[in-house]
Structure 1
Amino acid sequence: MAYFTAVLSPDGSGDDREWRSVEIDLEAGSPDELGDALRGAVDDDSPVLAVLEREDEWFALVRTDGPIDVKVFVSDAVAAADSAYAPLFAELPTAGENARADDAEDSDDDPEEESDEEARPDPAVAEDVWAGDPELLTDLGCPAEVLLRLSGSGTDPAAATVEIGELLGFADVLESLR
């Protein structure tokens, strides 16, 4: 199965934002290693977004903004674990871990008051296989709900990244790179 990768960076902001492709060879590695490569691809602190797809299996987004930490989202962490990019996804919190962290933040301070209903895993969460930060593109105009819907709907990875590109304004650039 084939991989598709593209690295994009916006010029401008808001409605005046135009995305351009950035020439860089993406190699599998840790998020920090990839973040360093992405930061080195631009001259300023502009956001840099790597779009990764594995044909018919998963898509991933990797973002860095200057010296800010790298943010990663992968639509199917289980399938991606068997890919050349597995080191990039190895340390990401999974959908279930994200849900447990949210529940812990929302729960009362008395852990002994957990009901039987709370002790059972949510079947919807158990089926989710995404990992990472679904909010990595929220400030650019792609809400977390979109990434979660695309990762859980069985959407073709190429179609998913095009839909994200349409929201953010880089769909044409992305398609020109295919």
Structure 2
Amino acid sequence: MYFAALLARTEDGWEASDTELDDVETLSDLADLAREASTEDDTVLVLIEQEDGWFGVVRIDGEEDPRIYVSDAAAAARSSYGEILLTDELLGREPGGDDADLDSLDLDGTEDGEPDDRAADDDDDDRDGDTSAESVPHSPVGDPEILDDLGVSSNELRSLDEDALNTIAEALGASEVLETVR
């Protein structure tokens, strides 16, 4: 199950809104959606999580490029929402490379239901040509300092797992507003 929300910083604190990602196909679309939530180019955070799988934070500050943090790239790569965040640049790949495994995505926003045990088995040389499992790490990717100035250090962010979004919201002083859209 997925949850996605926008947290927009205002003069009066944080405002949260539930967000639907069904029409979002690219990081640029997501950034545009986030910018629409802010009236004065303030900071907007897009928080996305797949229950017991991974979480991602996208930070938009005005017209600057989005900053991204994903807790588990390999888990996120198996989801359509995670695929939005995992840009070639974030993964250190050449743009337009053909190591995207779109066949593993079920584009209704859910996992295809089959775990990928092949990535954990280093002795299996017959990977059916799947290079995406090899190129996406089973670890965090992105900017771990994305929330440093907001009260969540890079070490704290890397250590989060279950209930990560609530922990982040609590550190920001936004747990009550996030809970209203949950």
Instruction: Please say whether Structure 1 and Structure 2 have the same fold, judged by a TM-score greater than 0.5.
Output: yes
* Corresponding letter in the other structure for 2:84: P
The equivalent residue for 1:10 is 9
The equivalent residue for 1:38 is 34
Q: Unaligned 5+ residue runs, structure 1?
A: 98-126
Residues 142 and 92 of structure 1: CA distance in aligned 2, closer, same or farther (over 3 Å): farther
Residues 24 and 176 of structure 1: CA distance in aligned 2, closer, same or farther (over 3 Å): closer
The equivalent residue for 2:176 is 172
- Structure number with the higher helix fraction is 1
Alignment RMSD: 2.0
* Corresponding letter in the other structure for 2:5: A
The equivalent residue for 1:138 is 148
User: 3-state DSSP class of the match of 1:129?
Assistant: coil
- 1:80-111 per-residue CA deviation (whole Å, 9 max, x = no partner) reads 001011132132535xx7xxxxxxxxxxxxxx
Please state if 1:21 is matched with 2:21.
Answer: no
Q: Unaligned 5+ residue runs, structure 2?
A: 93-136
Q: How many residues align?
A: 136
Deviation at 1:26, TM superposition (A): 2.7
* Corresponding letter in the other structure for 2:13: E
Counterparts of 1:77 and 1:90 in 2: how far apart (Å)?
11
Kept in 1: contact 2:4–2:18 (CA 8 A): no
The equivalent residue for 1:76 is 72
Counterparts of 1:83 and 1:92 in 2: how far apart (Å)?
18
User: 3-state DSSP class of the match of 1:43?
Assistant: coil
Counterparts of 2:69 and 2:15 in 1: how far apart (Å)?
21
Counterparts of 2:7 and 2:179 in 1: how far apart (Å)?
12
Q: 1:148 aligns with which of 148, 152, 158?
A: 158
Counterparts of 2:50 and 2:151 in 1: how far apart (Å)?
24
Larger Rg: 1
Counterparts of 1:6 and 1:135 in 2: how far apart (Å)?
20
Kept in 1: contact 2:70–2:140 (CA 8 A): yes
Deviation at 1:177, TM superposition (A): 1.5
1:58-137 paired onto structure 2 within 5 Å: 58-85=54-81, 86-93=83-90, 129-137=139-147
Counterparts of 2:19 and 2:76 in 1: how far apart (Å)?
21
* Corresponding letter in the other structure for 1:40: E
Counterparts of 1:43 and 1:10 in 2: how far apart (Å)?
10
